[in-house]
Structure 1
Amino acid sequence: MYKYIKGILEEINIDYIVVECSGIGYKINTSQNTICDIKKGEEVKVYTKLVVREDDMSIYGFKTKEELKMYELLNSVSKIGPKVALGILSFAEPKKLGAYILSEDVSALSKAPGVGKKTAERLVLELKDKIDKNNVEFEPTLLTNINKVPLKTEEAVQALVALGYSLAESKEAVNKCKKNCFETEELIKKCLAYLMK
């Protein structure tokens, strides 16, 4: 119903904000990420989702389209309601959440409020194929292959050496190209393209 609401930020609370637009104050449930990125008294544009239930109508909104999209994905998972989805988004930014899901990091996801091990596993199972692989931010500890197969950087170096490149050249290429690579074969191809420049 509402694509976004643009107006003056009148109130900031723990888990919601109030935005005044054309004399109406909209109570918008939101994440800590959004709350930390806006200031009271300023004009804000909040991308929104109206959630209608039998006994309640609530607006959920976020500073970026990416955060709204991640909220909708989280909310689509069975047994994860709007409040839990909001708690997960307050726990980590969308790019980090995407990385946790892609790398099947159940341990990290379990630390989000309202999420236990089984819920974290369900998140991975239901969302792994829906996450945009080009819009995630991996931490160094998460640079592993999807499906929990480690990215074998040493194998890539050995393969490049076998193709006639020096050890130093091979290591440099692997270090430059390993970011966002999930498979050893993919890494080798990127390294070859890098070395042929």
Structure 2
Amino acid sequence: MIASVRGPVQHVGLDSVIVEVGGVGLLVHTTPGTAADLRRGSQATLATSLVVREESLTLYGFADADERALFEQVQTVSGVGPRLALAMLAVHPPDVLRGAISGGDLATLTKVPGIGKKGAERIVLELRDKVVAGEASPGTPARAAGREPWRSQVGEALVGLGWSAKQADDAVEAVAGQAGDGGDVSGLLRAALRELGR
């Protein structure tokens, strides 16, 4: 298993990055918040999880090992694959997800596109006794500030997570006052996700 990658960032997409490792560019799928923290040409260190399928090898990357651990844990639930597990981490940080699972908070879980009431109940039923609320890793790195154009980055990330363009635009407008000089893309994305969850 590839547990981590480190190297210069060659490309940053909405929900993926390419990191050069030993002369090879590895495509790493991430949450929009993690991708927004990385810059082309900068050094990146990501905790990773390799998902092996008959027709593909797909690498998923995370800001820290805590996110990776939860990503792998939620996939033990029937019907939860890597894309849905990544969407869960895109909408909620690990400590919020663990709290929702251990507390049976279905409303929080169903804010994730692709998780309905039955899916949320199944996740709670199968993982309630396996997760500990507030189990965030110490020393989690602080998110770096994003740069313009934050509006399109946040809007495209929301559409990529399953909301309509109209919902994404409304959420972007709702958090525009928090942008300040240039805007922290990952912070604004989290604020927009909270706005959509109301």
Please indicate, yes or no, whether the TM-score normalized by the shorter chain is above 0.5: yes
Residue of structure 1 in register with 2:18 after alignment: 18
Q: Which 10-residue stretch deviates more, 87-96 or 29-38?
A: 29-38
Q: CA deviation at 1:39?
A: 2.6
TM-score normalised by structure 2 residue count: 0.65
Aligned to 1:98: 98
Cα offset, 1:134, TM superposition? 4.4
Partner-residue secondary structure (3-state), 1:20: strand
Please identify, of 12-21 and 31-40, the stretch whose mean Cα deviation from structure 2 is larger: 31-40
Aligned pairs for 1:150-165 (under 5 A) are none
| 1:126 matched residue in structure 2 | 126
Which structure has the bigger radius of gyration? Answer: 1
Asked if residue 68 in structure 1 is aligned to residue 97 in structure 2, the reply is: no
Deviation readout 1:81-135 (Å, 9 max, x if unpaired): 1111111111111111111112111011111011111111111111111112342
**Residues of 1 paired with 2:4 and 2:26: CA distance?**
11
Report Cα offsets for 1:31-54 as digits up to 9, x if no partner: 123223333321111111111111
Secondary structure, in 3 states, of the residue corresponding to 2:75? helix
| Whole-angstrom CA distance in 1 between matches of 2:134 and 2:92 | 18
Q: Does structure 1 residue 29 correspond to structure 2 residue 29?
A: yes
The separation in 2 between residues aligned to 1:102 and 1:28, in whole angstroms, is: 30
Question: After TM superposition, which residue ranges in structure 1, 4 or more long, deviate above 4 angstroms?
Answer: none
CA RMSD of aligned residues (A): 1.3
Question: 1:1-197 to 2 correspondence within 5 Å?
Answer: 1-135=1-135
Does 1 or 2 have the higher relative contact order (CA < 8 Å, sep 6+)?
2
- CA distance in 1 between counterparts of 2:64 and 2:35 reads 12
How many aligned residue pairs are there? 136
Structure 2 portions without partners, runs of 5+? 137-198
TM-score, normalization: structure 1?
Answer: 0.65
SS in 1 for 2:95: helix
